[in-house]
Amino acid sequence: MAHLIVHLLYEAHVGGPVQYRWMYPFERLLRGLKMKVKNKAHVEGSIVKAYLVKEIVYSLLSALSLRFFVNGTS
């Protein structure tokens, strides 16, 4: 076990802070893209369609909340 600690110290010294070497953000992004795939024959089309739906929903919610805010009703 002591030998492993030597390697961990070396990696920390060479690589710097851990957050610059983490793969978690990329793994989370790929998981999100994988969850959007509904048709395995057209993977890219499924991802694009899910992205467009998300953007349309966000745009509509933003426009509706802005309209209600301007009219004075909450």
Cβ atoms of 37 and 47 within 8 Å: the answer is: yes
At 35 the pLDDT is 92
User: Could you say which residues of the chain have pLDDT below 70?
Assistant: 1, 66-74
C-alpha 26: how far from chain center? 8
At 5 the pLDDT is 83
For residue 48, give its domain range.
2-71
> What pTM value is reported for the model?
0.56
Structural domain count of the chain:
1
In terms of DSSP H, where are the helices of 1-74?
Answer: 2-15, 24-36, 43-71
At 4 the pLDDT is 82
At 72 the pLDDT is 58
Cβ atoms of 29 and 19 within 8 Å: the answer is: no
Cβ atoms of 46 and 37 within 8 Å: the answer is: yes
